[in-house]
Every structure is written in structure tokens, then in C-alpha cells.
A and B are shown apart, each in its own frame.
Chain A
Amino acid sequence: MREKLADDAALLARLRAGDGPAFETLVMTYQHRVFGVALRMLGSRAEAEEIAQETFLRAHRALGEFRGEARLGTWLYAIASRLCLNRLASAPRRHEQSDEAAVLRHAAENADAGAVLEQRELAAALHDAIAALPEERRIVVVLRDLEGLDYEEIAEVLGLPLNTVRTRLHRARLDLKAKLERWLP
């Protein structure tokens, strides 16, 4: 993401000028990241795509209100995170194996080579471990370890104090370590 940050200002200027293709560029640039956050948070590809689409549509509507103090990516992450947390809050769900983890586990069960099998089992375990995290910890670890945001950016995206971000991140990592004992030395 960082290598793209320099382009944010130019892209934002085009968006504000009403440049039609600029919005397409925005979606193309951030589609996988926004979708990734939604997928790790919700565990369902269909739901994740729905949230990702809504994220871009809201951004499109709110472009006039975006002051440009934050980076475009941070702004999009903030919208997506809020949508995901709202979705999870409005429809509480008991912990279930995510679609993504089920796909990985099914692939692992049908894999031939031992290394591939182990790799796919690990992927499924990782997805299960992440999905088992409490939402407030899950979003922090997703933004930090999967999306690469630094502490300050996470605090800005989630609207949290920096120490809260540090604490939640550490607790999430300890939870994951406990879930992944089998794969650790």
C-alpha cells in the first residue's frame, strides 16, 4: 500500500474534479484490500463482496466531504471496518467455520503431496483462528498483520487511542499463538 500512497493525492484531485475514470482507478486500486478486510472479518465471500461494494459506493457519495487529511486507503479502510463491525453487531453470529477456511480445509483433505496438505491445513487453521477472535481484536490484527497499517493508522481508522490499539493487538496475537500451537516450535 505504501508505494501507492504517493499517488493518492493525484487520484483524489482527479476524483474531486469529476474525472469519471478516476473512480474506476480508485476501485481497481483498493478493491482487493477492502475486500480482504471484509473477508477476514466476515468469513463469507458473498458478504465480503457486498460490504466492499458498499464501501466504494459510500466513498463515491462522500467524496465531497473527504477533507484529504487522511490517505485515501485509510479512509476506505475506515469505511469498510465500520461497515463490517456494524454488520457483525447487527447480526450476532456464533463462531462457525468460515467459508474461506472450509474451502482451504477441503482442499487440504484432497491434497496428495504431504507438504501441500500441511500448507493447506495451516491456511485453514489460520483462518479459523482469526475467525475465532473477538471482533474488536480481529479488526486490529487484520489491519496490522494482513493489511500492514501502522499503529497510528489503525488508531485513525478505528478511532481508538493508540494504547488501546497496542493492547488489543497484543491480546489478539496471544490468542492466535494459542490457537496455532500445533504449527509453532
Chain B
Amino acid sequence: MEWNLSTDVVVIGAGAAGLAAAVSARDHGAAVILVEENYDIGGHAMLSGGRVHLGGGNALQKKHGIEDSPDKLFADWTDHKRGDARYNDRDLVRTHADESVATLQFLLDNGVTFIDKPVTTPDASSVPRTFVTHEWHIKEEIIAPRRNRNGSGLVRRLAESARKKGVQILLSHEMTRIVRDDNKGRVRGIVVKANGKEIAIEAKKGVVICTGGHTGNVQFRRMFDPRLTEEYQQAGMPWTEQGADGELAAMDIGASIWAAATQTQEVGPAITKTKHIGNRWGYISLVYEIDSPIFDRAKATGLTVTDWQEVILVNQFGKRFWNELDSGYEFINAAFANHGDSDKLNGGGPIWAIFDADAAARQKWNCKPPNVDPDGWFFTADTVFELAGKIKNPHQKKPMDGAALQETVNRYNWFVAMGTDVDFGKSTPLHPIAKPPFYAAWSTPILHDSLTGLRTDTNAQVMDTRGEVIQGLYCAGESQGGFAQHGLGRCLVFGRVAGRHAAQRNS
């Protein structure tokens, strides 16, 4: 193999895990190249709320009088009574517990600053362990301005520190494969594509996969849940795709998936109802306003639903399928059900919010671009019957029947008059859908967390299907399997662990 570049440690992906891995490897004496396929650093974490879930009795917890310990952290995240804890690989959780305090300190040492107030999280933790980073201070470098996307402060600070310490960051460099010696030998480096050319990068000590998970890869995500067909939205798009690049490249050279049960535990925000409707991407806490640097990709801000009494949700056949006021996994499972599509038995198909002019007025929605995206994700018509016929969307494979949608609306309006939703138990349906014009807004559920991924040992070394370490290959972040914790904490811990261990390997 002829190498175009050579270094000690190559990190793939400049999100939270990758930046932590790169800085950590550099701190331990390694020369580091960090490759990122996007034009900027940050990955998924750039759009996160910046909620860093660590704990174990770290400096911020002590400052706020929060009693915690690694043992308590371990006990919480292996608690058999909780769905987000019982399936976790306890060896990995033990490492997470033991490395949490040092990881928080690592962040502080690298310039990351936190809001001086803890938050509680609706997950397995029994004490407050989450602190929120400050949002990045340069407006032009925030991807979703004014939306408390404080993760920008985390990744920008880590990238700043990485550059100061000498990490070479190569943007717009897409990893295409990992190079491993024959006969289950060690990993030697990677091949990337940049400007149409292939570049081979030697990693004398190790390659760290931090590519961010798999929710954007339909075939991959369906390994865990066959319902997750192509129509579902993804949090983080259109900024980060989470295309399972790292997982696939590693599996091509023998790596194993691990702890797959964590992906379908139905706890937390791994899959959510949308909150911003009528645009392609409407994750609950993420809105791209028109001054977002990627607004040309997002195309619309969406209409923010503050009251689900204002709409009905219908499937591709124009029929209601569940109580619109519900938002938990019962709702999600109903949306994912087969609603009668004999050509596509998996996945539930598109979900549309149907509402009228009165609802728009009450919600103070301006149903025009740039608030909505009429290019397939939002439709307007003078009558309900016509509205159905106007819906043209890549995932609406058959035209919605106008009479069916009209019947759904008539029946719902009957429920409003009665004060009772006989079909789905919506609590006192309040508003008829009657006043023209009428609207249909894309409201299909959203996939967020990748909760399973590559098998690693406690040093974040990737393992094969026979339980053997693939020498020289590491993984951290949402591409790593075994620890189903939502958010940044596990990514930062295992990024740091991976970078350290790779740097300390013999070349």
C-alpha cells in the first residue's frame, strides 16, 4: 500500500467523540490527522443542546453539592428496572463510570465552558449529572442560531484546542475504506476521497471510528427494526446524515455489532413525534431559521405545533390512526404500523397533519415559505377533498383518496360536536376542521439516537464476531455499541479513552 499521508492516529469524524479522541491522542504524544466529510467540524454534536451527561462526582457536581460516585453511576446505568440501562454492556458502563470525572476535567482543561447550573435528565440517572455547555459566541459559526444549540460551544472549543495542539483537521474528506493487513492482521490506515481524488492515510498506531451512528442508513437501521423504512425523518439532517459509514467499513474487515437490544428499548428520544411540521426536517428541538448557513438545504423553518388539538394526523390513506395528543412510543408504534399498504408491508408510510384556516390563526402560523416547504412537504387547498389530491411526495406512493380524507374530517368534526373521540380517545376534541383553506403538513416521525453499533472492549478497541480485538481499530460515539445513553456523555468518554489507548500503542 502506498500512503499519501502518514501519521500516528487517524480519527474519522469531527463530532464530539472524534474531537475528544483527537485531542486525547495528541495529549498522549501522538501525531493526529482528523478527517471529516462535512465542510465544517461538529457532526451531530454541533446541533445538540450541549447537554453533557457525565457524573461520578465530578468538579461541577461537587460545586453544586451533588453527591455522586462512579459506583452510583454504574449502578444507575445497569439498573435492571430501566429500559435504558438493563441492556447495556456492563463492562463499558464500568469504564464510563470510572472515566467520567476525568472526562469532565478534560473538557474544562480544553476550554469548554458550562452554564453554572445542572439539569435533570429523564433517564437512568438518579442524581443530576448533566451540565450544559455555553453556546458558541460567533454567530456566523452556529448552524441553528437562536435555538439553544449549545453543543456548538462544545465542538468549537474542542476543535480550537485540537488545532492549537497540532491536530491536522482535513475537512471535506470522506472515508471510503479502512485498510487492514491480510489474515486478520492489524489496521494500517484508511482511504479517503477529497475533491474527487483518493488519498491513502497511514495510521501507525491506530484508526478511531467516530462517524456518528447509523440512523441515516435505511438498510443498516432496518437490521434492528425492519419498520424503519425510508420515509422517516432524521434528527440532525440536513447537517449530518449518520450514514453508518464507519460501521460498514469496519464490518467489511470483520467487525461485530454489539448489544443490538439497546436500539429498540423504547425509552427516551431515540424516535420522536415531530414538532415542526410542513418541512422536510422537524426534530423537536431543532429549527433552521433563514439565517442558518444551511437554510438552502433545510428550505423551511416549519410550523411549530404548540397544541396537537389543532390538527389531526392521518396516514397515507387519509385516515387517522391514533390520538394526536399522545407522543410516546404507543403513538410511534401506531405510526409505524401497516395501515393497509399491500405493496409495502414494513413502515407506516407518510403521516400528514391536516388543519384549517382557524387552526392556523390560533397557532399564529403563516402558512407560506419560508415557514413551509411546498416542494413536497406542505400543501394547501380550498377543500379537504382537493387537499388530498394535491399531496405529492416521494414517500406518498399512491394518491391520497379525497373522499377518504373528507370522510375522516367529517367524522372528526362529528366527534367535536359530540365532545368525544370515539375512535382514538382524544381528550375532548375541540376544533372542527372546517374553515378554508385547508392544509396538509409533513409530520412523519423522526429517528434520533443510534443506540447500538460496533463492538468494542473497554479500551474502545473494535472487536470481531469471534470476540477478538481488531488491532489498531477503535470506535467511539454513536457508532459504538453497548451503551444506550442518549447524548454526549458516552461519546466524550469513549472518544477520550480511544484516543489515549491508540496513542499509547506501539507503532
Do these two chains interact? no
B-side residues, CB < 8 A to A, are: none
A-side residues, CB < 8 A to B, are: none
